[in-house]
Structure formats: structure tokens, C-alpha cells
Amino acid sequence: MKLIKSVLAIIVASAILIGCNKPEEKPNVLKVGIVAGPEADLMAVAKDVVKKSGLTIEIVTFEEYILPNTALADGLIDANAFQSEHFFESMLKATGYDLARAGYTFIYPMGVYSTHYSEIKALPQGARIALPNDASNEARALQVLAQAGLIKLNNKPSGSDYTELDIIENHLGIHIIPIDAAQLPRMLGDVDAAVINTNFALPAGLLPSRDAIFVEEVNPTYANIIAVKKGHENDPRIVELVKAYQSDEVVAKAEQLFAGQAIPAWKYLQQ
């Protein structure tokens, strides 16, 4: 069922983009797709930084996770910056898009949030916990619940995605409720807890360090990336974009926005 939904979503996304004119080639202009949220503010800073090199970034905002990769594959944008590498690899397997990673941005730990309970161990028997319904983020959220001691997952080969079928211990008898990732903050009042991506938590006024009852351990598998069409990784414009996104100015803005919960992936992965 999830596979059917994913395929249908991709077909719909493609249909939305059919008929759009591809951008005119401009040597000093780069169209970059992002998903609405705090990362848009980071890209705005990168846009200012990159001006020094004579490059102009046009920011194209999308409302959900599928369209930026579809637009990139169709040549409607030159790059995007919104997704974890794990999500990206899952999308490539599902679609066959000929895309590649050009550079890393940040790691944003997931958090478990609740408006009913102030600590993770207070969750009751039979707790209803919402988590993202896309395969990559659902797998990640299940691992967060396992880190929190709420469930136990079986061992799977590296790179495999976890699903509810991989839960081998569930001593609280929690009920998993998959929901569109962007809708999770709005659902907090209707469930006992929710596992929420930081880029969706922040616009809802939720900070992992302040509001989460449990925060994910740093996992480099979920480092966010800048994606481009394969073969464009060394395009001088892309190189300048990556350099600008990894600048001190963007790091400072991320620190301000995420209160220490945005970890520069390019630095972390070099450790």
C-alpha cells in the first residue's frame, strides 16, 4: 500500500510539473529548490554570501518532499537542499532519478514531542505515537523510539528501512500512527506523542533542546545534502553554492534558528 501511494504521489508530482518551461540557461544564475521552513532562511543567507562570487541564487520553494527531486530530475531547478542522504537514496531507488550528492549541509536530530507528558518514561500503556508516513522518515522515527527504550527492533542489514513489522518488543503496547510529516505538529493534541523532524518542529515553535521529551542520538546517516543532476557535482556554480552553504555566516544563522540542534555535517563527518 505504501509503495502504491509513493508511486501515485510521484505520478501526481510529475503531472504538476509537466508543461512547465525549463529555465533558460543563465551562466551566473542558479535555481535552488527548498522545502518551506527554517532551511529557507539558511538558503537566504547562502544567497547573500554567494553574491561575492558573482553568482545569483533563485530560491524555489516547495511545500512537500517529493516535488524538489522531481523538479531537479526534470531540469526545472539546478539543485535542491532539503533532504537527508538516507531519504535521497530511498527516493533514487523508488524513482531511478539520475541525481547525485554535491555536498553536505546539516544534521538535524529528530525529537519526540508531547503536549500531555513532560518526560518519555511517563508515556502510558497503549500510548498513541504519531510518526512520519514516508518510508525513510518512518524508519528513522522507529529507531528514535528504540533509542528511547519504547520498542526493540530486529537487526537488519545496513541501509535497510525499518517498518512496524520489525518491532520485536513493545512492552508498552504503543500504537503507531503514520501521518504526513508536515502535519505532525498539528496532531500533538490528538496523540500521546509524536516523532517530528526538526525542520517541521521549528515553524510550530518547538525546539528539540527545549520542548522534546527525547532527542535522537546524532546519526550521520541522516545528514542533509545538496543534490544535483549526476555529472554536475563539479559545476563551478554548484561548488560556489556548497561553499556558501557551509560558510560561517550560514552556520551562525543555523545556530540562531536551531538553538544548537543543527550540526554542520561536513565537519562532523570529518571527525
Domain boundaries, the chain: 2-108+221-268, 111-217
Residues 6 or more apart whose Cβ sits within 8 Å of residue 119: 213
Residue 26: predicted pLDDT:
63
Q: How confident is the model over 80-99, as a mean pLDDT?
A: 94
The confidence score (pLDDT) of residue 158 equals 60
Least confident of 58-62, 153-157, 212-216, 244-248: 153-157
CA dist 133 and 180 (Å) reads 5
The pLDDT, as a whole number, for residue 25 is 56
Does pLDDT of 91 surpass 80?
A: yes
For residue range 161-184, list pLDDT tens digits in order: 899 999 999 999 999 999 999 899
pLDDT-derived band of residue 219, with 50, 70 and 90 as boundaries? confident
What value does the mean pLDDT take over residues 34-56? 93
Cell of 122: 511517563
Q: What class does CATH assign to 111-217?
A: alpha beta
Would the CATH topology of 2-108+221-268 be identical to that of 111-217? yes
Q: Mean of the pLDDT values across residues 122-130? A: 98
Contact predicate 173/126, CB 8 Å:
yes
Q: Give residue 142's pLDDT.
A: 96
- The least confident of 13-17, 86-90, 108-112 is 13-17
> Higher-confidence residue: 1 or 242?
242
| CATH architecture of the domain with range 2-108+221-268 | 3-Layer(aba) Sandwich (3.40)
Tell me what pLDDT residue 1 has: 44
* pLDDT of res. 259: 84
User: What does the alpha-carbon distance between residue 189 and residue 186 come to, in Å, rounded to a whole number?
Assistant: 7
Question: Is a pLDDT exceeding 50 seen at residue 14?
Answer: no
If residue 177 lies in a helix (H) or strand (E), which one and from where to where? strand 175-179
What are the helix (H) ranges across the chain? 2-17, 38-50, 67-73, 85-95, 135-147, 198-201, 208-211, 236-245, 248-258, 265-268
**Of 260 and 268, more confident:** 268
Percent of the chain surpassing pLDDT 70: 89
